[in-house]
Amino acid sequence: MPRVLSGIKPTGKVHLGNLLGALQHWVADQYENDSLYCVVDLHALTVPQDPATLHETTLQLAQILLAIGIDPEQSTLFIQSHVHEHIELAWVMECTASFGELRRMTQFKDKSETADFVSGGLFTYPALMAADILIYDADKVPVGDDQRQHLELTRDLAIRFNSRYGETFVVPEAAIPKAGARVMDLQQPTSKMSKSDDSPQGTIDLLDDLGVAARKIKRAVTDTETEVRFDPVAKPGVSNLLSILGACTGQNPEDLASNYTQYGPLKADAADAVVEVLRPIQKRYAELSADQPGTLAILGQGAGKARAMAAPKLRLVKERIGLLGI
Ligand code: AMP
Ligand code: TRP
Protein backbone atom coordinates (compact mmCIF):
# COMPACT_ATOMS: atom_id res chain seq x y z
CA MET A 1 0.00 0.00 0.00
CA PRO A 2 1.34 3.47 -0.79
CA ARG A 3 2.21 5.54 2.23
CA VAL A 4 0.55 8.94 2.63
CA LEU A 5 1.65 11.61 5.09
CA SER A 6 0.35 15.07 5.77
CA GLY A 7 0.55 17.70 8.48
CA ILE A 8 -1.52 20.63 9.68
CA LYS A 9 -0.45 23.49 11.93
CA PRO A 10 -2.35 24.13 15.17
CA THR A 11 -2.86 27.82 14.53
CA GLY A 12 -6.26 29.42 14.21
CA LYS A 13 -9.59 27.72 13.73
CA VAL A 14 -10.36 24.97 11.26
CA HIS A 15 -12.84 26.12 8.63
CA LEU A 16 -15.02 24.66 5.90
CA GLY A 17 -12.31 25.35 3.27
CA ASN A 18 -9.82 23.22 5.23
CA LEU A 19 -12.39 20.43 5.48
CA LEU A 20 -13.61 20.38 1.88
CA GLY A 21 -10.25 21.25 0.30
CA ALA A 22 -7.94 19.08 2.35
CA LEU A 23 -9.14 17.19 5.41
CA GLN A 24 -11.95 15.33 3.64
CA HIS A 25 -9.30 13.82 1.36
CA TRP A 26 -7.29 12.72 4.39
CA VAL A 27 -10.31 10.77 5.61
CA ALA A 28 -10.89 9.16 2.20
CA ASP A 29 -7.18 8.37 1.70
CA GLN A 30 -6.89 6.39 4.90
CA TYR A 31 -8.82 3.43 3.44
CA GLU A 32 -6.57 3.00 0.41
CA ASN A 33 -3.21 3.91 1.89
CA ASP A 34 -0.99 3.41 4.84
CA SER A 35 -1.62 6.92 6.20
CA LEU A 36 0.10 9.12 8.76
CA TYR A 37 -1.32 12.46 9.86
CA CYS A 38 0.37 14.82 12.23
CA VAL A 39 -0.43 18.05 14.02
CA VAL A 40 2.74 20.01 13.35
CA ASP A 41 3.09 21.94 16.58
CA LEU A 42 6.83 22.56 16.07
CA HIS A 43 6.03 24.37 12.82
CA ALA A 44 3.70 26.64 14.76
CA LEU A 45 6.69 27.81 16.85
CA THR A 46 8.25 29.56 13.85
CA VAL A 47 6.12 32.56 14.80
CA PRO A 48 5.50 33.74 18.39
CA GLN A 49 2.79 31.69 20.15
CA ASP A 50 1.03 32.13 23.45
CA PRO A 51 1.81 28.90 25.39
CA ALA A 52 -1.71 28.37 26.80
CA THR A 53 -3.30 28.95 23.40
CA LEU A 54 -0.87 26.62 21.62
CA HIS A 55 -1.55 23.91 24.18
CA GLU A 56 -5.29 24.25 23.71
CA THR A 57 -5.34 24.53 19.91
CA THR A 58 -3.08 21.49 19.53
CA LEU A 59 -5.44 19.30 21.54
CA GLN A 60 -8.47 20.84 19.84
CA LEU A 61 -7.07 20.22 16.37
CA ALA A 62 -6.36 16.57 17.20
CA GLN A 63 -9.96 16.25 18.39
CA ILE A 64 -11.27 17.89 15.23
CA LEU A 65 -9.28 15.44 13.11
CA LEU A 66 -10.78 12.54 15.03
CA ALA A 67 -14.25 14.13 14.81
CA ILE A 68 -14.14 14.49 11.00
CA GLY A 69 -13.37 10.80 10.68
CA ILE A 70 -9.64 10.20 10.96
CA ASP A 71 -9.80 6.71 12.39
CA PRO A 72 -6.93 5.69 14.67
CA GLU A 73 -7.46 2.09 13.56
CA GLN A 74 -6.81 3.12 9.94
CA SER A 75 -4.30 5.96 10.33
CA THR A 76 -1.42 6.90 12.54
CA LEU A 77 -2.48 10.19 14.13
CA PHE A 78 0.12 11.96 16.24
CA ILE A 79 1.60 15.23 17.43
CA GLN A 80 4.89 16.17 15.75
CA SER A 81 6.73 17.10 18.96
CA HIS A 82 5.97 13.65 20.43
CA VAL A 83 8.32 12.07 17.91
CA HIS A 84 11.68 13.74 18.56
CA GLU A 85 13.30 11.94 15.61
CA HIS A 86 11.77 14.60 13.33
CA ILE A 87 14.00 17.27 14.87
CA GLU A 88 17.15 15.21 14.64
CA LEU A 89 16.51 14.53 10.98
CA ALA A 90 15.60 18.20 10.47
CA TRP A 91 19.15 19.18 11.47
CA VAL A 92 20.54 16.78 8.90
CA MET A 93 18.17 18.30 6.32
CA GLU A 94 19.26 21.83 7.25
CA CYS A 95 22.81 20.73 6.52
CA THR A 96 21.71 19.08 3.25
CA ALA A 97 19.85 22.18 2.00
CA SER A 98 21.82 25.19 0.81
CA PHE A 99 21.29 28.69 2.18
CA GLY A 100 20.34 29.80 -1.34
CA GLU A 101 17.63 27.14 -1.63
CA LEU A 102 16.06 28.11 1.66
CA ARG A 103 16.27 31.79 0.80
CA ARG A 104 14.33 31.20 -2.45
CA MET A 105 11.27 29.81 -0.65
CA THR A 106 8.44 32.21 -1.48
CA GLN A 107 6.58 31.50 1.76
CA PHE A 108 9.64 32.64 3.74
CA LYS A 109 9.98 35.74 1.57
CA ASP A 110 6.29 36.65 2.02
CA LYS A 111 6.16 35.98 5.75
CA SER A 112 9.50 37.57 6.61
CA GLU A 113 8.57 40.79 4.83
CA THR A 114 5.55 41.39 7.05
CA ALA A 115 6.63 39.83 10.37
CA ASP A 116 7.97 41.99 13.25
CA PHE A 117 10.16 39.16 14.44
CA VAL A 118 11.69 36.77 11.90
CA SER A 119 12.92 33.66 13.70
CA GLY A 120 15.68 31.38 12.43
CA GLY A 121 13.04 28.65 12.49
CA LEU A 122 10.91 30.50 9.96
CA PHE A 123 13.88 30.28 7.60
CA THR A 124 14.67 26.60 8.21
CA TYR A 125 10.98 25.51 8.38
CA PRO A 126 11.13 23.67 5.01
CA ALA A 127 13.96 21.46 6.29
CA LEU A 128 11.76 20.36 9.21
CA MET A 129 8.90 19.73 6.81
CA ALA A 130 11.23 17.62 4.63
CA ALA A 131 12.21 15.62 7.73
CA ASP A 132 8.53 15.04 8.62
CA ILE A 133 7.99 13.47 5.23
CA LEU A 134 11.28 11.64 4.56
CA ILE A 135 11.55 9.98 7.95
CA TYR A 136 8.50 7.84 7.09
CA ASP A 137 9.35 7.09 3.45
CA ALA A 138 6.06 8.72 2.43
CA ASP A 139 5.11 8.17 -1.23
CA LYS A 140 2.36 10.78 -1.42
CA VAL A 141 1.92 14.07 0.42
CA PRO A 142 -1.53 15.69 0.13
CA VAL A 143 -1.01 19.45 0.47
CA GLY A 144 -2.44 22.70 -0.81
CA ASP A 145 -0.97 24.47 -3.79
CA ASP A 146 0.93 26.88 -1.49
CA GLN A 147 3.11 23.97 -0.34
CA ARG A 148 4.21 22.91 -3.82
CA GLN A 149 7.62 24.62 -3.53
CA HIS A 150 8.33 23.02 -0.13
CA LEU A 151 7.55 19.62 -1.62
CA GLU A 152 9.91 20.26 -4.52
CA LEU A 153 12.65 21.11 -2.04
CA THR A 154 11.89 17.94 -0.08
CA ARG A 155 12.33 15.91 -3.27
CA ASP A 156 15.61 17.68 -4.09
CA LEU A 157 16.94 17.01 -0.59
CA ALA A 158 16.00 13.33 -0.79
CA ILE A 159 17.67 12.96 -4.19
CA ARG A 160 20.80 14.81 -3.00
CA PHE A 161 21.09 12.73 0.17
CA ASN A 162 20.54 9.48 -1.75
CA SER A 163 23.21 10.36 -4.29
CA ARG A 164 25.75 11.35 -1.61
CA TYR A 165 25.20 8.53 0.84
CA GLY A 166 23.35 5.77 -1.05
CA GLU A 167 19.62 5.03 -1.38
CA THR A 168 18.08 6.05 1.94
CA PHE A 169 14.86 7.99 1.28
CA VAL A 170 11.81 7.51 -0.91
CA VAL A 171 11.41 10.57 -3.16
CA PRO A 172 7.83 11.68 -2.40
CA GLU A 173 5.18 13.05 -4.76
CA ALA A 174 2.91 15.98 -3.91
CA ALA A 175 -0.81 15.18 -4.15
CA ILE A 176 -2.41 18.56 -4.82
CA PRO A 177 -6.21 18.55 -5.10
CA LYS A 178 -7.77 20.03 -8.23
CA ALA A 179 -8.58 23.74 -8.23
CA GLY A 180 -12.29 22.90 -7.92
CA ALA A 181 -11.80 22.14 -4.25
CA ARG A 182 -11.13 25.78 -3.41
CA VAL A 183 -13.74 27.25 -1.07
CA MET A 184 -14.05 31.02 -1.31
CA ASP A 185 -14.93 33.60 1.33
CA LEU A 186 -18.72 34.02 1.56
CA GLN A 187 -18.46 37.81 1.73
CA GLN A 188 -15.54 38.28 -0.69
CA PRO A 189 -15.93 35.37 -3.08
CA THR A 190 -12.83 36.28 -5.05
CA SER A 191 -10.58 35.46 -2.05
CA LYS A 192 -10.07 32.06 -0.44
CA MET A 193 -11.92 31.27 2.76
CA SER A 194 -9.14 31.60 5.33
CA LYS A 195 -8.16 31.35 8.98
CA SER A 196 -7.50 35.04 9.44
CA ASP A 197 -9.95 36.95 11.56
CA ASP A 198 -10.71 39.69 9.00
CA SER A 199 -13.84 38.06 7.66
CA PRO A 200 -15.81 36.20 10.36
CA GLN A 201 -19.02 36.42 8.30
CA GLY A 202 -17.24 35.02 5.26
CA THR A 203 -15.69 32.01 7.03
CA ILE A 204 -17.52 29.00 8.46
CA ASP A 205 -15.61 27.43 11.33
CA LEU A 206 -16.24 23.73 11.82
CA LEU A 207 -17.31 24.48 15.38
CA ASP A 208 -19.64 27.39 14.51
CA ASP A 209 -23.10 27.14 16.03
CA LEU A 210 -25.24 25.43 13.34
CA GLY A 211 -27.72 28.33 13.17
CA VAL A 212 -24.86 30.79 12.75
CA ALA A 213 -23.32 28.65 9.99
CA ALA A 214 -26.65 28.47 8.11
CA ARG A 215 -27.11 32.25 8.39
CA LYS A 216 -23.64 32.89 7.01
CA ILE A 217 -24.56 30.88 3.90
CA LYS A 218 -27.92 32.60 3.54
CA ARG A 219 -26.26 36.02 3.74
CA ALA A 220 -23.49 35.09 1.30
CA VAL A 221 -22.73 37.70 -1.35
CA THR A 222 -24.05 36.75 -4.80
CA ASP A 223 -24.62 39.26 -7.62
CA THR A 224 -27.36 41.45 -9.10
CA GLU A 225 -28.42 38.92 -11.73
CA THR A 226 -30.82 36.09 -11.01
CA GLU A 227 -29.48 33.27 -13.18
CA VAL A 228 -27.91 30.28 -11.44
CA ARG A 229 -24.86 29.21 -13.45
CA PHE A 230 -21.47 27.75 -12.53
CA ASP A 231 -19.04 30.40 -13.72
CA PRO A 232 -16.40 31.22 -11.09
CA VAL A 233 -15.07 34.22 -13.06
CA ALA A 234 -18.32 36.01 -13.89
CA LYS A 235 -20.33 34.71 -10.92
CA PRO A 236 -17.90 33.95 -8.06
CA GLY A 237 -20.46 34.08 -5.22
CA VAL A 238 -23.05 31.82 -6.84
CA SER A 239 -20.37 29.43 -8.09
CA ASN A 240 -18.92 29.20 -4.59
CA LEU A 241 -22.33 28.20 -3.21
CA LEU A 242 -22.65 25.55 -5.93
CA SER A 243 -19.14 24.28 -5.13
CA ILE A 244 -19.90 24.09 -1.41
CA LEU A 245 -23.21 22.29 -2.02
CA GLY A 246 -21.46 19.95 -4.46
CA ALA A 247 -18.57 19.17 -2.12
CA CYS A 248 -20.96 18.54 0.79
CA THR A 249 -23.24 16.22 -1.19
CA GLY A 250 -20.74 14.60 -3.57
CA GLN A 251 -22.23 16.19 -6.69
CA ASN A 252 -20.83 18.17 -9.56
CA PRO A 253 -21.43 21.96 -9.22
CA GLU A 254 -22.10 22.38 -12.97
CA ASP A 255 -24.84 19.73 -12.86
CA LEU A 256 -26.35 21.20 -9.71
CA ALA A 257 -26.80 24.61 -11.34
CA SER A 258 -29.57 23.31 -13.60
CA ASN A 259 -31.71 22.45 -10.54
CA TYR A 260 -32.12 26.13 -9.62
CA THR A 261 -33.74 29.16 -11.19
CA GLN A 262 -33.33 31.45 -8.14
CA TYR A 263 -30.69 32.17 -5.54
CA GLY A 264 -32.94 31.65 -2.49
CA PRO A 265 -33.48 27.89 -2.88
CA LEU A 266 -29.78 27.38 -3.74
CA LYS A 267 -28.77 29.16 -0.53
CA ALA A 268 -31.30 27.18 1.50
CA ASP A 269 -30.01 23.86 0.12
CA ALA A 270 -26.36 24.86 0.58
CA ALA A 271 -27.08 25.91 4.18
CA ASP A 272 -28.84 22.59 4.90
CA ALA A 273 -26.00 20.62 3.32
CA VAL A 274 -23.36 22.43 5.38
CA VAL A 275 -25.37 21.94 8.57
CA GLU A 276 -25.70 18.20 7.84
CA VAL A 277 -21.93 17.96 7.33
CA LEU A 278 -21.16 19.88 10.52
CA ARG A 279 -23.75 18.26 12.80
CA PRO A 280 -22.10 14.81 13.22
CA ILE A 281 -18.63 16.41 13.42
CA GLN A 282 -19.74 18.66 16.28
CA LYS A 283 -21.46 15.79 18.08
CA ARG A 284 -18.33 13.67 17.95
CA TYR A 285 -16.17 16.67 18.88
CA ALA A 286 -18.29 17.29 21.99
CA GLU A 287 -17.83 13.64 23.06
CA LEU A 288 -14.08 13.84 22.54
CA SER A 289 -13.81 17.14 24.43
CA ALA A 290 -15.54 15.54 27.39
CA ASP A 291 -12.92 12.76 27.39
CA GLN A 292 -9.53 14.40 27.24
CA PRO A 293 -7.70 11.32 28.61
CA GLY A 294 -9.24 9.28 25.77
CA THR A 295 -7.82 11.66 23.18
CA LEU A 296 -4.41 11.69 24.86
CA ALA A 297 -4.37 7.89 24.86
CA ILE A 298 -5.06 7.82 21.10
CA LEU A 299 -2.28 10.36 20.53
CA GLY A 300 0.10 8.34 22.72
CA GLN A 301 -0.55 5.22 20.64
CA GLY A 302 -0.12 7.22 17.44
CA ALA A 303 3.22 8.59 18.63
CA GLY A 304 4.33 5.06 19.56
CA LYS A 305 3.49 3.74 16.09
CA ALA A 306 5.19 6.72 14.43
CA ARG A 307 8.36 6.35 16.50
CA ALA A 308 8.60 2.68 15.63
CA MET A 309 8.89 3.78 11.98
CA ALA A 310 10.99 6.91 12.51
CA ALA A 311 13.65 5.53 14.86
CA PRO A 312 15.14 2.87 12.53
CA LYS A 313 15.21 5.36 9.66
CA LEU A 314 17.06 7.92 11.78
CA ARG A 315 19.54 5.23 12.86
CA LEU A 316 20.21 4.39 9.22
CA VAL A 317 20.71 8.09 8.37
CA LYS A 318 23.19 8.57 11.21
CA GLU A 319 25.14 5.51 10.12
CA ARG A 320 25.18 6.66 6.48
CA ILE A 321 26.54 10.12 7.29
CA GLY A 322 29.23 8.75 9.56
CA LEU A 323 28.03 9.64 13.05
CA LEU A 324 29.61 7.35 15.59
CA GLY A 325 27.12 4.96 17.16
CA ILE A 326 27.46 3.28 20.57
P1 AMP B 1 -4.10 26.45 6.05
O2 AMP B 1 -5.41 26.76 6.67
O3 AMP B 1 -3.70 27.51 5.05
O4 AMP B 1 -3.01 26.06 7.00
O5 AMP B 1 -4.35 25.17 5.14
C6 AMP B 1 -4.53 23.85 5.58
C7 AMP B 1 -5.01 23.02 4.41
O8 AMP B 1 -6.33 23.43 4.00
C9 AMP B 1 -4.13 23.13 3.14
O10 AMP B 1 -4.07 21.88 2.50
C11 AMP B 1 -4.89 24.14 2.29
O12 AMP B 1 -4.65 23.99 0.92
C13 AMP B 1 -6.35 23.82 2.62
N14 AMP B 1 -7.18 25.03 2.49
C15 AMP B 1 -7.06 26.17 3.22
N16 AMP B 1 -7.99 27.08 2.85
C17 AMP B 1 -8.73 26.50 1.86
C18 AMP B 1 -9.85 26.92 1.07
N19 AMP B 1 -10.42 28.12 1.24
N20 AMP B 1 -10.35 26.06 0.16
C21 AMP B 1 -9.78 24.86 0.00
N22 AMP B 1 -8.74 24.38 0.70
C23 AMP B 1 -8.21 25.19 1.63
N1 TRP C 1 3.97 23.39 5.91
C2 TRP C 1 2.64 22.80 5.88
C3 TRP C 1 1.58 23.92 5.85
O4 TRP C 1 1.85 25.04 6.20
C5 TRP C 1 2.41 21.95 7.11
C6 TRP C 1 3.33 20.78 7.16
C7 TRP C 1 4.39 20.59 7.98
C8 TRP C 1 3.25 19.61 6.36
N9 TRP C 1 4.98 19.37 7.78
C10 TRP C 1 4.31 18.76 6.78
C11 TRP C 1 2.39 19.23 5.34
C12 TRP C 1 4.52 17.51 6.17
C13 TRP C 1 2.62 17.98 4.74
C14 TRP C 1 3.67 17.14 5.16
O15 TRP C 1 0.45 23.64 5.45
SS3 content of the chain, % helix, strand, coil (to 5): 60, 10, 35
Centroid of ligand 2 to alpha carbon of 235 (angstroms): 32
Name the closest-CA residue to atom 10, ligand 1: 144
Q: Residue 203 CA: which ligand is closest?
A: 1
Is 216 assigned a catalytic role? no
Q: Residue 144 CA: which ligand is closest?
A: 1
Is 9 assigned a catalytic role? no
- Which pLDDT tens digits describe the chain residue by residue (326 residues)? 999 999 999 998 899 999 998 899 899 999 999 999 999 999 999 999 999 999 999 999 999 999 999 999 999 999 999 999 999 999 999 999 999 999 999 999 999 999 999 999 999 999 999 999 999 999 999 998 889 999 999 999 999 999 999 999 999 999 987 644 689 999 999 999 988 767 899 999 999 999 999 999 999 999 999 999 999 999 999 999 999 999 999 899 999 999 999 999 999 999 999 999 999 999 999 999 999 999 999 999 999 999 999 999 999 999 999 999 98
What beta strand segments (E) does the chain contain? 3-8, 34-39, 75-79, 140-142, 173-175
Task: Return the biggest CA–CA distance within the chain.
Answer: 74
Q: Out of 13, 140, 192, 216, which one is annotated catalytic?
A: 192
Is ligand 1 within 6 A of the CB of residue 22?
A: yes
Name the closest-CA residue to atom 9, ligand 2: 129
Other Cβ atoms less than 10 A from the Cβ of 271: the count is: 23
Q: Residue 26 CA: which ligand is closest?
A: 1
Centroid of ligand 2 to alpha carbon of 108 (angstroms): 14
Q: What is the rounded distance in angstroms from the CA atom of residue 200 to the CA atom of residue 205? A: 9
- HSE-up of residue 126 (Cα within 13 Å, Cβ side): 28
Q: What is the rounded distance in angstroms from the CA atom of residue 317 to the CA atom of residue 323? A: 9
What is the Cα 289 distance to its own chain's centre? 21
Locate all alpha helices (DSSP H) within 24-147, ordered by sequence: 24-29, 41-44, 51-68, 85-96, 99-103, 106-114, 120-134
Residue 235: name the closest of 219, 214, 257 by CA. 257
Host H or E run for residue 315: helix 292-321
Q: Is the dihedral of CA 132, 133, 136, 140 positive or negative?
A: positive
Q: Out of 111, 218, 305, 318, which one is annotated catalytic?
A: 111
* Cβ proximity of 68 and 37 under 8 Å: no
Host H or E run for residue 214: helix 210-218
Q: What is the CB < 6 Å shell around ligand 2? A: 5-7, 9, 40, 43, 129, 132-133, 141, 143, 147, 150
Entry pTM: 0.94
Domains along the chain with CATH numbers: 3-180+292-321 (3.40.50.620), 210-287 (1.10.240.10)
Q: Out of 13, 109, 178, 195, which one is annotated catalytic?
A: 195
